Structure 1
Amino acid sequence: MPAKKNSSAAQTRRVTRVEPPALEEAVAAAQGLTDDIESQVEIASQLMGLPEDEVRPVVLKTAPRVQVRRPERFPSFERSEGPKVVVVERKRPRLAIPR
């Protein structure tokens, strides 16, 4: 009978590698959280562990030039027009019957 090899604890232990985000990734995450530039600078600098003065130029460079106006959450309707009605129907799939 062959002898079983014992695996050492070092071989079975899992190692998790933690890497800080790249500066562009931190800026993209900050832009997804808020529209305020100064808040983006603060969030990105905290994610990277860098001073705000080093992060600010990158945030300003990647900031959108034109602020896009977001649509109203609840549009107002005139009484004469009324809300538009949308009907969604589910069609059942056709079943193929073997002959």
Structure 2
Amino acid sequence: MSAQKKPSANAGRRVTRIDPPALEEAIEAAQGLTDDVDSQVEIAAQLMGMPEDEVRPAVLKASVTARPLGRPAPRFMAHDRHDGPKVVVVERKRPRMVMPR
């Protein structure tokens, strides 16, 4: 009989890597959530984990070059697979509740 190997504790576990978004991604996400520039600054700063004073110039610059109000953004865009838009996912994590036994 051969000795069976025990699987390591990490075998089969999925690893989730959490990276803060790039500044442009955070600003784009903030612009999608609100039209108010001050709120965009606050949201982008929180997503990046940076102070609002450092994010504000980039948000102001992006709001100047933003799409005109009279023209809505397209709902669906077809892109080549390699040149597709970057996706920003904002999730709310709820605290894990432990039930007493």
TM-score range, shorter chain: 0.5 to 0.7
Matched, 1:61 2:61: yes
CA deviations over 1:27-64 (Å, ceiling 9, x no partner)? 00001111111111111011111111100111112113
Q: CA deviation at 1:65?
A: 5.5
For structure 1, which runs of at least 5 residues remain unmatched after alignment? Answer: 72-99
**1-side partners of 2:29 and 2:15: how far apart?**
26
Counterpart of 1:68 in structure 2: which amino acid?
L
Equivalent position of 2:75 in the other structure = none
Gaps of 5+ in 2: 73-101
For residues 78-89 of structure 1, the aligned pairs below 5 Å read none
Which residue does 1:41 correspond to in 2? 41
Q: Select the structure with the greater relative contact order (CA < 8 A; seq sep ≥ 6).
A: 2
- Pair 1:23–1:66, CA change in 2 (3 A): closer
Higher Cα Rg, which structure: 1
User: Cα deviations across residues 76-97 of structure 1 (Å, max 9, x unaligned)?
Assistant: xxxxxxxxxxxxxxxxxxxxxx
Alpha-carbon distance, 1:2 to partner = 4.0
**Percent identity at matched positions?**
66
Match of 1:21 in 2: 21
Counterpart residue identity of residue 57, structure 2: P
**2:8 matched residue in structure 1:** 8
Bigger mean CA deviation after superposition, 61-70 or 44-53: 61-70
Alignment length, in residue pairs?
71
> TM-score when scaled to structure 2?
0.58
RMSD: 2.2
